[in-house]
Chains A and B, each alone.
Chain A
């Protein structure tokens, strides 16, 4: 039982490059979300999904896109990376929005 799997674990990008952070869960969870963690800021919600085909914005959505074509996968796309997007990104999932979320181990992203 892998839980929530995030890839890659580390990535360095140049300003303006695009990339996709992958997130997959094998628990048949309907609710999935993306957070970023910055020093002194805790975790902030970027985007979330209540089920396949349904996504919505969180607290800090600008510069990020998401899609949810399957229950298992919830990729996060940076279309044109900016240094302000340097952060640690966590994906999480739960059976529904009322259950505690299970987190992946994060992707550490640096943008030069």
Chain B
């Protein structure tokens, strides 16, 4: 039972254009969402997060949108750069007894072409 799903295994965009990575979740107890970026042979690196009380969070070229009614979040990268090419994981965290536990999606491979 995959509680966090990234349905697009891969995405290819041109440098300078927008990259949109999507993530869906099923557990309504999730109250905090994160995006991680992973390069080959390295560990995931935290990118940006959003609390369930917000619908948007922006940090430079990266913006995360949360639609709670649809249980959907997305990561927008504008403008995309070749160095953004990596695997992107969304992750969700629940409150209460789930303190600190992250549930990850399967990941989306982003390729940004020069």
Contact = CB atoms under 8 A, between A and B. Distances in A.
Interface string B30-66: 0010101000011111100100000000000000000
B104 interface: yes
Given A100-B46, A101-B46, A42 B105 contact: yes
Contacts of A63: none
B105 A94 contact: no
Interface residues of B, number: 23
Contacts, number: 58
B101 interface: yes
A44 B105 CA distance: 9
B43 A105 contact: yes
B53 to A, nearest CB: 14
Interface in A21-73: 31, 33, 35, 40-45, 48, 50, 58-59
B43 A103 contact: yes
Contact of A90 (B34, B43, B91, B105): B43
A-side interface size class:
20 to 34
Contact of A96 (B34, B100, B106, B107): B100
Interface of B: 4, 6, 32, 34, 36, 41-46, 49, 89, 91, 99-107
Given A96-B100, A103-B36, A104-B43, 17 more contacts: A31-B100, A33-B102, A42-B107, A43-B44, A43-B89, A48-B100, A50-B99, A50-B100, A58-B101, A59-B101, A98-B32, A100-B49, A101-B46, A101-B102, A103-B44, A106-B41, A106-B42
Which 7 residue pairs are nearest across A and B when measured between Cβ atoms? A97-B100, A103-B43, A42-B104, A100-B46, A43-B104, A97-B99, A42-B106
7 contacts: A4-B43, A31-B100, A42-B6, A42-B107, A50-B99, A59-B101, A101-B102
